Amino acid sequence: MRRDYINIGYSPKDTDLICEFHIEPSAGVNFEEAATHMAGESSIDSWTEIATLSPELAERLKPHVFYADEKAQTVRVAYSEDLFELGSVPQVLSAVAG
């Protein structure tokens, strides 16, 4: 799994999909690690290697956790529009709502 999804300085693009999540890390998992896993699993990370996901494509499609409030246990994630098929609401929902 990539570790560069936390990007507090990132300024979302007008075309990014912005989602806010409430995170309750498991015992022994810190907030930043939980946010990284959540952002990755809802976008380009997988339990198996994806042969067609080049480093350049992964960099373009990766999510950006641009806001994190550990006390409130919330993060905001910007997803590139290129991550989703145009007009596919089911795909968006399966990614960000599980």
Q: What is the pLDDT of residue 46?
A: 67
8 close to 51: Cβ distance less than 8 angstroms: no
pLDDT over 60 (residue 1): no
The class of domain 17-96 in CATH terms is alpha beta
Q: What is the pLDDT of residue 71?
A: 96
Residue 91 tokens read as: 């795909």
22 close to 97: Cβ distance less than 8 angstroms: no
Q: What angle do CA 66, 71, 77 make, to 5 degrees?
A: 20
> How does pLDDT run across 33-86, given as a tens digit for each residue?
999 988 988 887 766 677 777 878 777 878 999 999 999 999 999 998 887 888
Q: What is the pLDDT of residue 47?
A: 66
Alpha-carbon gap, residue 80 to 90, rounded angstroms: 16
Alpha-carbon gap, residue 90 to 55, rounded angstroms: 27
Q: What is the pLDDT of residue 92?
A: 79
Residue ranges per domain, the chain?
Answer: 17-96
More confident residue, 86 or 98: 86
61 close to 83: Cβ distance less than 8 angstroms: yes
